[in-house]
Amino acid sequence: MKSYTSENLRNVAIIAHGGAGKTSLAEAILFNGGSTDRLGSVDSGTSVLDSEPEEIKRKITLTSSVHHCDWQGKHLNVIDTPGYANFIVDTKACLRVTGGAVVIVSAISGVKVQTEVVWKYADEFEIPKVVFISKLDRERADFDRAVGEIEATFKCYPLVLQIPIGKEDDFVGVIDLVTMKALRYGNDQSGKFSTEEIPDHMHEVAAEAREAMIERVVEADDELMEKYLGGEEIGVKEIQRATREGCMTGKFVPVVCGSALKNIGIQSLMDIMCECLPSPLERPAQFAENLAEGEEYELKADADAPFSALVFKTISDPFTGQLSLFRVYSGTLTSDTNCFNSTRGRKERIGQLLKLEGNKQVPIDKCGPGDIVAVAKLKETVTWDTLCDEKVPLRLKGLDLPAPVISFSLRPKSKGDEEKLGGALQRLMAEDPTIQIERNEQTKELVISGMGQVHIEVTVDRIKRKFGVDVELDAPKVPYMETIKKSVSLQGRHKKQSGGRGQFGDVWLKIEPLPKGEGFEFVNSIVGGVVPRQYIPAVEKGVLEAMAGGVLAGFPVVDIKVTLYDGSYHSVDSSEMAFKIAGSMAFKKGVVDAKPTLLEPIMLMDINVANDYMGDVIGDLNSRRGKVNGVEPMANSQLIKAQVPMSEVLKYAPDLRSMTGGRGMFTMEFSHYEEVPSHLIAKIVEAVNLEKDEG
């Protein structure tokens, strides 16, 4: 592999909504750059980037892929990212470490919701962007409409550098407004084109488009503005310089166009990527925490500086094991050496450094500032850990992951696969940090949570393919609780005679409700030794065991006070077991008479929706027995804060997406327990009992 300096390196993420053609564009870039010898296709399953079986089956990108090529003396690290909502966190992770982005806008569908999301991510990380308007060869393609949507949606200034020649089936090339030449392509997907004069019927349109481009591009350079206002001609080199300046500063976004499938306009895009997107040396200063001195430390993109890198992705490879992908921020790392994981406080042995080529790897000897590389089989390192020089321990900030939005109970179809499932889940969580696994102690279920139903389904497919474990998914059980609403006093008397030594325990309990959230309190009020001291803990134990399964539907009983105030014993037949049984009997009888009721978990929700959908979302929350606590205005949206019963929002993610056309996002966390409305208790109890009967 050719060597290259940080100055000639470009880290570029290709971002857009799902189905915009990101993978097809990345394949065309790699083909034109000479990294592949054929134009890979998503539809035919020949893509070198979408190579996972789940991706080939669904024909969508589920996880980001890294590849590289050389172009015009520059080395491009190209990252093909997911565009569907369930997997978009992976896109944000990639943008955290890249320097530039190519945003695809379909000439057919225009700007869609997830394009807005990833655009905001790029803005968050101050990443310069270039827009590629794609699919101009397709039916209903409209270049002007796409440009208009870019300006209206993103409130940016699109700098149109090219306009299409022809449309739909007649799309054959582009007019370069900088050089005022026509680039006409063949129909063989080779990417070869001829440079011609602008067709006569397009002279006027091209002249108007170029004048609009000049008016906008001179805004990036005061000298050019003066020159333009003075009526002087603006040269090609000056336009290119101002285009780069405007792109880097965000004054405008360069726009080019073409067709990835027909390989039209791709070389022009690659030229713009090299010219307008920054090298690692031109990115804003990055800072890390110096753990030794407790101060902020500026990272310099210098090969001789102390080494620092951030692990942004983990891949479970069936042949090489766990691959850790990292982006180098400073210094140099070589193969077969040591480094320090400052996040874990552990040394790591670096084996062979690898350059990723989709699902393949190429060995390299070293890597420097800005490069994106991988290493296999690190023992302690996980995603968002920092690798550095032990002499200068630094820690880079990772990414705050969003909370999961949907959960399912998970169990292996074969009872003998529990252990294999546990190992599989650990590996998958290392690969995908947005997957969360927990064992619910109350419902005894293994619960898997993720960013959407498709996300969970894909994870299940991977568990079967990679680890040979078939699993079943169900809606998770709601962890209801039981409590009481009035005080009672009850006797529990356990007497059993079977020929030999008998059993005898006799207690009187007062059972009272406690304020919400107080849990359980046991009070010993025995006087005079009517219940011997050694048996009192057994009474409490019997009560606690009875509390684990309430009288309504077998849910745990909470917020209750039990006072042991009287009883009797037998000098021979009494025992700890007898008093434990007596305590349990008294508690169960008492709860039945103490107006038992159900408590349900209430979730605290923050729901971000576009202004147009706020009324519909609030109405829907009301129908789910939710309480809206307030609405806060955000940029072009509203943040609805609400409390909603868990049982009503177990599958809220697809409902919100449907309600808002994909323009809604939410976070959810447990808040507290509240009493279930009386008219619903019978239905819940009936459903639980029916499930027990079927089980």
In the predicted structure, residue 405 carries a pLDDT above the cut 70 = yes
pLDDT value of residue 620: 95
In the predicted structure, residue 593 carries a pLDDT above the cut 90 = yes
DSSP assigned state of 304: T
In the predicted structure, residue 201 carries a pLDDT above the cut 70 = yes
Helix axis angle for 22-32 and 266-276, nearest 10°, is 90
pLDDT band with cut points at 50, 70 and 90 for residue 55: confident
- Averaged pLDDT of the chain: 91
- What mean pLDDT is predicted for residues 471-477? 88
Task: Supply angle C-alpha 226, 148, 257, rounded to 5.
Answer: 85
In the predicted structure, residue 338 carries a pLDDT above the cut 70 = yes
Give the CA dihedral 453, 459, 463, 465, nearest 10 degrees: 100
Range 433-441, long-range pairs (CB < 8 A, 24+ positions): 433/382, 433/383, 433/384, 433/401, 434/89, 434/401, 434/402, 434/404, 435/404, 435/459, 436/404, 437/410, 440/476, 440/477, 440/479
Percentage with pLDDT > 90 across the chain: 66
3-state DSSP percent of the chain in helix, strand and coil, to 5: 30, 35, 35
Between 318 and 280, residue with greater pLDDT: 280
Calpha distance 422→463 (Å, rounded): 10
In the predicted structure, residue 312 carries a pLDDT above the cut 90 = yes
pLDDT band with cut points at 50, 70 and 90 for residue 635: low
pLDDT value of residue 426: 86
Token pair of 133, please? 């308007």
In the predicted structure, residue 428 carries a pLDDT above the cut 70 = yes
Looking up tokens 């270039």 gives 130
pLDDT value of residue 499: 65
> What strand order describes the sheet that includes 286-290?
295-299, 286-290, 394-395
pLDDT band with cut points at 50, 70 and 90 for residue 465: confident
pLDDT band with cut points at 50, 70 and 90 for residue 101: very high
Calpha distance 207→213 (Å, rounded): 10
Give the 3-state secondary structure of residue 66.
Answer: strand
Q: Which helix (H) or strand (E) holds 340?
A: strand 337-341
In the predicted structure, residue 19 carries a pLDDT above the cut 90 = no
pLDDT value of residue 336: 95
Write down the H helix ranges in 594-651.
614-623
In the predicted structure, residue 572 carries a pLDDT above the cut 90 = no
Beta-bridge mates of residue 495: 504
pLDDT value of residue 145: 94
pLDDT value of residue 693: 67
Calpha distance 649→112 (Å, rounded): 26
Give the 3-state secondary structure of residue 77.
Answer: strand
pLDDT value of residue 369: 96
Give the 3-state secondary structure of residue 278.
Answer: coil
pLDDT band with cut points at 50, 70 and 90 for residue 537: very high
Flag the least confident range among 166-170, 474-478, 616-620. 474-478
Contact 617, 664 (CB under 8 A): yes
Between 494 and 45, residue with greater pLDDT: 494
Give the CA dihedral 609, 615, 620, 625, nearest 10 degrees: 110
Question: Cβ-count burial of 529 within 10 angstroms (0-12 exposed, 13-18 middle, 19+ buried)?
Answer: exposed
Calpha distance 503→505 (Å, rounded): 7
In the predicted structure, residue 319 carries a pLDDT above the cut 80 = no
Q: Beta strand pairing status for 366-367 and 346-350?
A: unpaired
Tens digits of per-residue pLDDT, 180-189? 999 999 988 9
Amino acid 259 reads S
Between 129 and 19, residue with greater pLDDT: 129
Give the 3-state secondary structure of residue 462.
Answer: helix
Q: Give just the sign of the alpha carbon dihedral 369, 370, 371, 372.
A: positive
pLDDT band with cut points at 50, 70 and 90 for residue 230: confident
- What mean pLDDT is predicted for residues 407-420? 86
Closest CA to 406 of 386, 432, 436, 385: 436
Give the 3-state secondary structure of residue 581.
Answer: helix
Percentage with pLDDT > 70 across the chain: 98
DSSP assigned state of 339: E
In sequence order, the 6+-apart residues with CB closer than 8 A to the CB of 471 are 410, 411, 412, 413, 421, 460, 463, 464
- What mean pLDDT is predicted for residues 117-141? 95
Contact 234, 227 (CB under 8 A): yes
Calpha distance 684→689 (Å, rounded): 9
pLDDT band with cut points at 50, 70 and 90 for residue 422: confident
Q: Beta strand pairing status for 503-513 and 488-496?
A: antiparallel
DSSP assigned state of 437: E
pLDDT value of residue 69: 96
Strands (E), 146-251: 158-160, 162-165, 173-176, 181-185, 193-196
Amino acid 271 reads D
In the predicted structure, residue 411 carries a pLDDT above the cut 70 = yes
Flag whether the pTM goes above 0.75.
yes
Amino acid 492 reads G
Give the 3-state secondary structure of residue 115.
Answer: helix
Number of residues that this document lists for the chain: 695
Tens digits of per-residue pLDDT, 25-38? 999 999 999 999 89
Looking up tokens 């998503």 gives 42
Q: Beta-carbon neighbour count of residue 462 at 10 Å?
A: 21
In the predicted structure, residue 166 carries a pLDDT above the cut 60 = yes
